Amino acid sequence: MIQRKTNLMETPLPPADAVADCCVVYSEAEKAERRALKLPACEPSPAGLIQALPKGRTLVTKRAIKAPDVLNDAPQYGSAFPRGLRIELPGGITQLLISGTASVGENGETLYEGDFRAQTWRTFHNITRLLESEGATWHDIVRTTCYLRDIERDYLDFNSVRNEFYAALGLDPFPASTAIQARICRSDLLVEIEAIAIMVRGGGK
């Protein structure tokens, strides 16, 4: 991922394909690994070049999750991932994989710089809207992974906000969770959360 310290609302990153087309100098080791993956050794590869699905294989049905009213699509500023994936599994099960989500607005800008608690609430807000876009709620969440830029400084506040939110929702039990200290992709983001939800299609619980 390309990182920038400037406000993304003012200076958006180039799209991923434009980044790939920049003047990249490939090392001999990189060339070897690109060849092993059946990619051109010395030039950007065209989309759809690799056909990796064996004959007779059927893929699970999946599509991107979006909530453009509260946060933009990550590829708009050069990141090669969706905000989440909806996966339809056999047996009437739907799984939602929510990508790492932070205090980002509808134009890709960081919201509430320097305010950890406000960023945490906005992160929960964004995830809530992603879930709602697929007919899910926090009651469908089975696991979260929580990344804090400074876990020693901020964990008490994080746990306070999370406990209040989960209690207000009436979650019992709370989702399984892991908290990790991590350098999040932007220096002004203090918390990021990814989540897994599982739903039974047809309204069953």
Residue 119: per-residue pLDDT:
97
Q: Check: pTM over 0.85? Answer yes or no.
A: no
Residue 203: per-residue pLDDT:
56
Residue 75: per-residue pLDDT:
59
Residue 49: per-residue pLDDT:
83
| Domain 54-200 in CATH 3.30.1330.40 | yes
Note down pLDDT in tens along the chain; length 205 residues.
333 333 333 334 444 444 445 578 889 999 999 999 888 888 888 888 877 777 888 888 888 888 888 887 765 666 666 889 999 999 999 999 999 999 999 988 999 999 999 999 999 999 999 999 999 999 999 999 999 999 999 999 999 999 999 999 999 999 999 999 999 989 999 999 999 999 998 754 4
Q: Where are the domains of the chain?
A: 54-200
Residue 22: per-residue pLDDT:
59
Q: What is the 3-state secondary structure (H, E, C) of the chain?
A: CCCCCCCCCCCCCCCHHHHHCCCCCCCHHHHHHHHHCCCCCCCCCCCCCCCCCCCCCCCCEEEECCCCCCCCCHHHHCCCCCCEEEEEECCCEEEEEEEEECCECCCCCECCCCCHHHHHHHHHHHHHHHHHCCCCCHHHEEEEEEEECCHHHHHHHHHHHHHHHHHHHCCCCCCEEEEEECCCCCCCCCEEEEEEEEEECCCCC
